[in-house]
Amino acid sequence: MKIKDLAGTSFPELSAQLDGASSQIEVAGITADSRHVQPGDLFVAVSGTKANGTSYIVDALARGAVAVVAESGVKPDGSSAPVLSLGNPRAFLARAAAAFYGRQPETMVAVTGTAGKTSVASFTRQIWAHSGLAAAMIGTTGVVAPGRNDYGSLTTPDPVSLHKLLAELADAGVTHAAMEASSHGLDQSRLDGVKLSAAAFTNLGRDHMDYHPTVEHYMASKMRLFEALLPKGAPAVVFADDQWSEQAIAAARKAKLDVRTVGRKGEFISLKRVEHFRHKQSAEVHVGDDIFEIHIPLAGDFQVANALVAAGLAISTGISAKAAFSALEKLQGASGRLELVGQTRDGALAYVDYAHKPDALENVLASVRPFTTGRVIVVFGCGGDRDKGKRPIMGEIATRLADVVIVTDDNPRSEVPEVIRSEIMAAAPGATEIGDRAEAIRAAVGMLTSGDTLIVAGKGHEEGQTVGSVTLPFSDHAEVRKALGGL
């Protein structure tokens, strides 16, 4: 593909720099990482949190890049390959990747919010699949599509991987795809160029305060989904019962979207009555004049909200309300989201959950309390190189809502694990500290007696524990099973 075709009409400042010869340069691939440049590639230099791609232009050219796109002010170094500049290289990277790979599933939706994105994306895929559509999901747990189940790493992949993936899915016949839009992904323009038919907002709580300077910046990043990515008139599904719902609704209205609220205060799907059971949730919802009784075979009060948002997205992309709600009865939970892993002989239940932020921990502990006749026992830690402010908050929540708290490690990364734990422990009087996560799980399982509920929180579907720069194989599921087996 030629550079001028990658730029399209969205970047006139770039087109203006292309002369006869440079506009004809054929690009064999696109990358923002000089270490991945192959001869013939276009290198896009973006500035990041650790490095600035402009420092690697020389490296990229030495590896055979045929052209470079960088931020304004970067001077050509006299190389024969053109070094073009524009205001927002990240936005260009995403649009160029979209143009380069070309194909996407016809119907794409994206969901943002602090909690529930993976669950909503997974449920939306399942509702579509239940109606016989070839459907996929892309998110924290990876990629799920007909005949495909890949473990993932980022919630929203980088734009080059994302568009390569979308083209693969479209080529494999996938017509519908639901993806997660993280605030990092939105802020870094990773989703620019994805052709969305609808989008959704779940809720906003404390998260990623290491990356976003303020909660307003965090919310504004999320609202890029409505303001910058969703075309005017497209459906915006908003969970109506969150503290931030009003702001999300206002942003969607301002962006001239077709706002569709769901929840108790919802007008599109209106929740009239809900009953929470230990392993399932039942509800009555109204859609227009129709009344539906829905049954969600999953633990966790919060799954009702996620199911309504997913149903809102499915209905907004052509599924009938009846089909969407009947699909909910067959839902499988996303891996590691309040997932029942096993039980002791006398019936104490052990769950693995991905709560690694305050609201999620609060929700999950509150969810199991009504069904626990004995003690709620929680094992959790906080990730290193991530928001330090959440550590005492989560310590306080665990102490307030659980009867037994064991503080352990969760991906210490480059930090000293003892320091992370001590920051949680400072707000968790009476908690036990056991750094080794497997040992912490064994200790918790060992103390289970009839009526108790164990929540191992923070890692969910993860298959590794990152200590320093090494990721060691580790699975909460496997450790819980092993500990239960040893009883």
Ligand X SMILES: CC(=O)N[C@H]1[C@@H](OP(=O)(O)OP(=O)(O)OC[C@H]2O[C@@H](n3ccc(=O)[nH]c3=O)[C@H](O)[C@@H]2O)O[C@H](CO)[C@@H](O)[C@@H]1O[C@H](C)C(=O)N[C@@H](C)C(=O)N[C@H](CCC(=O)O)C(=O)O
Ligand Y SMILES: Nc1ncnc2c1ncn2[C@@H]1O[C@H](COP(=O)(O)OP(=O)(O)OP(=O)(O)O)[C@@H](O)[C@H]1O
Residue 411 is a binding residue for Mg ion (CB under 5 A): no
Which residue positions form the known binding site for ATP? 113-119
Instruction: DSSP letter for 46, please.
Output: -
Single out the residue of 29, 30, 34, 455 in contact with ligand X (rule: CB under 6 A).
34
Residue 354 is a binding residue for ligand Y (CB under 6 A): yes
Residue 118 is a binding residue for ligand Y (CB under 6 A): yes
Instruction: List binders of ligand X among 147-186 (CB under 6 A).
Output: 154-156, 158, 182, 184-185
Rounded to whole angstroms, how far apart are CA atoms 359 and 366?
10
Closest by CA to 222, choosing from 265, 186, 272, is 186
Cβ 117 to ligand API shortest distance, Å: 10
Single out the residue of 302, 325, 351, 380 in contact with ligand Y (rule: CB under 6 A).
302
Residue 92 is a binding residue for ligand X (CB under 6 A): no
- H-type alpha helices, 134-225: 159-171, 183-187, 215-224
Cβ 36 to ligand X shortest distance, Å: 8
Residue 115 is a binding residue for ligand Y (CB under 6 A): yes
Instruction: DSSP letter for 333, please.
Output: P
Single out the residue of 54, 126, 335, 363 in contact with ligand Y (rule: CB under 6 A).
363
Reduce the DSSP state of residue 260 to 3 states and report it. Answer: strand
- Closer CB to Mg ion, 206 or 286, in the complex: 206
Which residue positions form the known binding site for meso-2,6-diaminopimelate? 386, 410-413, 458, 462
DSSP per residue, 426-484: TT-TT-EE--SHHHHHHHHHHT--TT-EEEEES-TT--EEEETTEEEE--HHHHHHHHH
Rounded to whole angstroms, how far apart are CA atoms 296 and 281?
5
Q: 44: Cβ–Cβ under 8 A, 6 or more apart, which residues?
A: 30, 31, 32, 53, 68, 69, 70, 89, 92, 93, 96
Cβ 161 to ligand X shortest distance, Å: 8
- Closer CB to ligand X, 33 or 284, in the complex: 33
Q: What one-letter code names the amino acid at 135?
A: A
Strands annotated E in 190-325: 196-201, 235-239, 258-263, 269-276, 281-287, 290-296
Residue 353 is a binding residue for ligand Y (CB under 6 A): yes
Cβ 11 to Mg ion shortest distance, Å: 31
Closest by CA to 136, choosing from 159, 152, 153, is 152
CA angle 174, 1, 25 (to 5 degrees): 165
For Mg ion, how many residues bind (rule: CB under 5 A)?
4
| Residue count of the chain | 487
Cβ 178 to Mg ion shortest distance, Å: 12
Given the structure tokens 């989904």, which residue do they identify?
Answer: 225
- Closer CB to ligand API, 276 or 437, in the complex: 437
Residue 190 is a binding residue for ligand Y (CB under 6 A): no
Residue 48 is a binding residue for ligand X (CB under 6 A): yes
Residue 335 is a binding residue for Mg ion (CB under 5 A): no
Residue numbers at the binding site for ligand X (CB under 6 A): 32-35, 46, 48-51, 53, 56, 140, 154-156, 158, 182, 184-185
Residue numbers at the binding site for ligand Y (CB under 6 A): 113, 115-119, 140, 155, 180, 202-203, 302, 305-306, 334, 337-338, 353-355, 359-360, 363-364, 460
